[in-house]
């Protein structure tokens, strides 16, 4: 059996299994006695607006390679979760689906407790559009009090370009800002949020000549694995932080950002500040 045929067979087996586990009543379908559990093939095909014959072949592993559009329609027909939809694409096309941005920004109490446990390292949660829905006490001390800002203004890009205090804390603001714009462009594109950020980009282009210039350069950058960020705090002095980002399990729309003090001296200074 060829690799393509083997992949088609795995896809067909998985589709058949998912179909068998569905409750017809949840789809408003008649409750008459059924010979087998779940939805019928023709019912799935009708919901997906595809040929019943072709869907049958797909379950039998001989329907050929489906398109992304067809897989999306099948995912909708089977009411797949995001994880199941991703698995469907991996089986059918050998790749995950294109990013589909969903506005969220809510943070669970459990995730907030993770942030709090990271003190004295400043840490925050960043959305796909770089809004900040959660942070710990060390971040308030070191980076600024996000709670003092209206929720709509708790955005990293907005703070970098429009907050004079944030600008004054960056020893090499121009290089940092240029890097951030490139990273923001590529990360929001990956998340499928290009349309979502249009109002923010338009506003920043109007309010910040520097942002307008950097944005129109159309550059993209990838964050290096090891990066040290320097911050000149107006009261506590200069700090060096190892800057790291982590994906949040089960939440592709969120990123955990941690500023770990680069030296024992920096950690001790920050720990002392948190105690006062």
Per-residue pLDDT, 85: 86
Three-state SS at 254: strand
Cα angle: 170, vertex 138, 228; to 5 degrees? 40
Q: Which pLDDT tens digit goes with each residue over 47-85?
A: 999 999 999 999 898 767 788 899 989 999 999 887 888
Per-residue pLDDT, 219: 82
Among 3-7, 73-77, 104-108, 265-269, name the one with the lowest average pLDDT: 3-7
Q: Where are the alpha helices (DSSP H) in the chain?
A: 3-20, 41-48, 52-59, 68-77, 82-93, 109-117, 137-142, 156-162, 164-168, 173-190, 198-207, 209-216, 264-275
The enclosing H or E element of 252 equals strand 251-261
Sign of the torsion angle spanned by Cα atoms 180, 186, 191, 194: positive
Q: Which pLDDT tens digit goes with each residue over 172-206?
A: 999 999 999 999 998 888 888 888 899 999 999 99
Q: How confident is the model at residue 2 (pLDDT cuts 50, 70, 90)?
A: very low
Q: How confident is the model at residue 1 (pLDDT cuts 50, 70, 90)?
A: very low
How does the average pLDDT of the chain come out, rounded? 88
Closest by CA position to 98, among listed 80, 85, 113, 117: 85
State the average pLDDT over residues 159-174: 94
* CA gap 142, 123 in Å, rounded: 10
Per-residue pLDDT, 6: 59
Of 81 and 215, which is predicted with more confidence?
215
Q: Which domains, and CATH codes, for the chain? A: 3-93 (1.10.260.40), 109-275 (3.30.450.180)
With a CB cutoff of 8 Å and minimum separation 6, the contacts of 149 are none
φ/ψ of 140, rounded to 5, equals -60, -45
Token pair belonging to 234: 């107006």
Per-residue pLDDT, 194: 83
pLDDT exceeds 50 at position 23: yes
Q: Which pLDDT tens digit goes with each residue over 143-162?
A: 999 999 999 899 999 999 99
User: Taking the CA atoms of the chain, what radius of gyration do you get in angstroms?
Assistant: 24
Token pair belonging to 130: 């770089």
Token pair belonging to 159: 């703070």
pLDDT exceeds 50 at position 3: no
pLDDT exceeds 70 at position 141: yes
Three-state SS at 255: strand
Of 103 and 129, which is predicted with more confidence?
129
* CA gap 7, 85 in Å, rounded: 16
Closest by CA position to 78, among listed 33, 46, 101: 46
Closest by CA position to 16, among listed 59, 58, 48, 53: 59
């Amino acid at each position: 059996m060829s690799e393509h045929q083997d992949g088609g067979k795995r896809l067909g087996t998985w589709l058949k299994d998912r179909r068998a586990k569905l409750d017809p009543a949840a789809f408003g379908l008649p409750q008459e006695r059924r010979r087998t559990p779940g939805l019928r093939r023709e019912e799935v095909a009708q919901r997906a607006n595809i040929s019943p014959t072709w869907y049958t072949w797909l379950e039998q592993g001989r329907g050929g390679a489906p398109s992304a559009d067809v897989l999306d329609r099948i995912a909708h027909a089977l009411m797949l979760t995001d994880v199941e939809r991703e698995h469907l694409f991996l089986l059918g096309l050998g790749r995950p689906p294109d990013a589909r941005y969903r506005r969220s920004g809510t943070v669970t109490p459990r995730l907030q407790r993770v942030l709090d446990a990271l003190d004295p390292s400043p840490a925050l949660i960043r959305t796909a559009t770089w809004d900040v829905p959660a942070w710990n006490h060390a971040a308030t001390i070191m980076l600024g009090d996000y709670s003092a800002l209206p929720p709509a203004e708790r955005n990293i890009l907005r703070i970098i370009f429009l907050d004079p205090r944030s600008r004054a804390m960056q020893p090499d603001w121009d290089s940092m800002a240029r890097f951030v714009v490139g990273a923001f462009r590529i990360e929001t594109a990956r998340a499928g949020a290009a349309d979502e950020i249009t109002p923010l980009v338009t506003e920043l282009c109007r309010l910040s000549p520097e942002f307008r210039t950097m944005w129109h350069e159309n550059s993209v950058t990838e964050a290096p694995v090891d990066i040290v960020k320097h911050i000149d705090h107006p009261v506590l002095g200069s700090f060096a932080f190892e800057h790291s980002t982590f994906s949040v399990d089960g939440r592709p729309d969120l990123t955990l950002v941690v500023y770990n003090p680069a030296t024992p001296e920096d950690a001790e200074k920050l720990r002392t500040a948190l105690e006062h």
